[in-house]
A and B are shown apart, each in its own frame.
Chain A
């Protein structure tokens, strides 16, 4: 009985407020701003927002209130997080900006920009999986087989980045090239990104190596520009990674001096 009464009250109030969507109470703006709606209600309220400029203004004002609550909780992030994020950023493609519709049209209809932001706020996939998605942007023009391969690779990258013992490091080499790594000792894997490697001189390639004291260098494959690669089966005693210029099909062992070398000690390898 009471329940029915409340619902009726809400409806009357909505009607009085001139709101067009029957069961979306305007009163949900506050719990919405506090992220205190369940998923169904959130979707319903967001649909309502698209047709209610007044609610949009209100939600914006409420966001300023919650930002204060958020900032009051600030504590310094763990120091290690910074390097990890910055390295991951180098390995992560960004979404292309959407073409901006002309301002008049956007204001008149009022929805595209808002819809985009709301999608951003409600997308539920973990960002680490999205590292993979960004990476996949390259792959869209490839064949399906190639796509599957890259998708698998992207999953591996996300897996390494999410490992609890993942650590990051980077190094600078000659002529502004650099090597960044996020490595997990427990997985014995590393995501390696090269930056600033100019296309190697005619018909040659950049090859990545694992170097270990007292052992022959082990090839980790050829690098394709700045596309990240996953190095597998790293030895616990792996000392460093290095990039050399080699013939186009790669070499069995390095034949030139490294253009960049990165020690793995700080990421949990070596001794």
Chain B
């Protein structure tokens, strides 16, 4: 059964339907959260929150508003983005608190690291067993067809959890341009041939 059929059963308390739904969506939910958060432990925690929330609030799903999968993955994406933004804001405060003293020490010690590296120590991405299959291949191929700016605008926002204002700052572009690049990028993805139904 598809997620669209299972979710209404779950809303009526059907635990078996939830198990089936778990089988369908746990990979996409965990993978998406992991893509945004990178950190394994945090991703597991957020995925767990999302999947439980799914059980708890299944009755809120309204098929008139879109597919069950869209509803579920939107929920997962929002939770992941909330978490990554919270962590960034906390990191920001900490950096301010550590502040000047260390920066001066670092300047004395040698040339400062590039802005980007100092601002955001990124974990190296661990190789992970892929599951996305044809969908993943299709998206990879279609993302390649975008211009660099379209590609960056879409992926910095969706996969890295930056707001469009942050994306504009990082790419040194006006807000309007960023919104346009995002729209063009998504439109071009939509028109990319071979889209899975």
Cβ-based interface call for B112 (8 A)? no
Given contacts A30-B182, A34-B182, A74-B136, contact A68 B189 (CB under 8 A): yes
- Whether A36 lies near B163 (C-beta < 8 A) is yes
Cβ-based interface call for A76 (8 A)? yes
Distance, CA A60 to CA B35, complexed state (A): 23
Cβ-based interface call for B149 (8 A)? no
Q: Closest B residue to A131 by CB, please name it.
A: B52
The secondary structure that dominates the B interface is: helix
Distance, CA A75 to CA B190, complexed state (A): 23
Cβ-based interface call for A120 (8 A)? yes
List the A side residues contacting B159 at CB < 8 Å.
69, 73
Distance, CA A209 to CA B78, complexed state (A): 41
- Whether A86 lies near B22 (C-beta < 8 A) is yes
- Whether A70 lies near B27 (C-beta < 8 A) is no
Q: What 0/1 readout, one digit per residue, does chain A (19-34) give for beta carbons within 8 Å of chain B?
A: 0000000011011011
- Whether A35 lies near B78 (C-beta < 8 A) is yes
Q: What 0/1 readout, one digit per residue, does chain A (44-88) give for beta carbons within 8 Å of chain B?
A: 000000000000000011111111111111111110011011101
Distance between B41 CB and nearest chain A CB, rounded to angstroms: 7
Distance, CA A75 to CA B136, complexed state (A): 10
List the B side residues contacting A96 at CB < 8 Å.
59
- Whether A77 lies near B186 (C-beta < 8 A) is no
- Whether B138 lies near A72 (C-beta < 8 A) is yes
List the A side residues contacting B22 at CB < 8 Å.
82, 85-86
Given contacts A81-B26, A121-B75, contact A97 B59 (CB under 8 A): yes
Distance, CA A73 to CA B93, complexed state (A): 30
List the B side residues contacting A92 at CB < 8 Å.
52, 55-56
Q: What 0/1 readout, one digit per residue, does chain B (38-71) give for beta carbons within 8 Å of chain A?
A: 0001001101111111011111111011110111
Q: Closest B residue to A6 by CB, please name it.
A: B176
- Whether B13 lies near A65 (C-beta < 8 A) is no
CB contacts between A and B, total, < 8 Å? 227
List the A side residues contacting B174 at CB < 8 Å.
2, 6
Contact partner of A73 (CB less than 8 A), chosen from B31, B41, B78, B162, is B31
Q: Closest B residue to A98 by CB, please name it.
A: B59
Distance between B124 CB and nearest chain A CB, rounded to angstroms: 16
Q: Closest A residue to B156 by CB, please name it.
A: A36
Given contacts A27-B179, A94-B13, contact A73 B28 (CB under 8 A): yes
- Whether A70 lies near B49 (C-beta < 8 A) is no
Q: Pick the interface stretch among A110-118, A183-191, A229-237, A255-263.
A: A110-118
Given contacts A116-B60, A127-B53, contact A77 B167 (CB under 8 A): no
- Whether A127 lies near B135 (C-beta < 8 A) is no
Given contacts A77-B29, A89-B18, contact A114 B182 (CB under 8 A): no
Interface centre among B48, B70, B81 (most CB of A within 10 A): B48
Cβ-based interface call for B195 (8 A)? yes
Cβ-based interface call for A212 (8 A)? no
Distance, CA A213 to CA B58, complexed state (A): 43
A sample of 13 cross-chain residue pairs with beta-carbon separation below 8 angstroms, ordered by A number, consists of: A30-B183, A35-B161, A36-B158, A37-B163, A38-B165, A65-B189, A68-B138, A70-B73, A73-B35, A73-B159, A81-B48, A89-B52, A92-B56
Q: Identify 9 new A-B residue pairs, CB closer than 8 A, beyond the known A64-B67, A69-B154.
A: A35-B77, A38-B165, A72-B135, A72-B138, A77-B27, A81-B47, A116-B62, A117-B60, A121-B74
Leading 3 A-B pairs by shortest Cβ distance: A127-B53, A97-B59, A72-B139
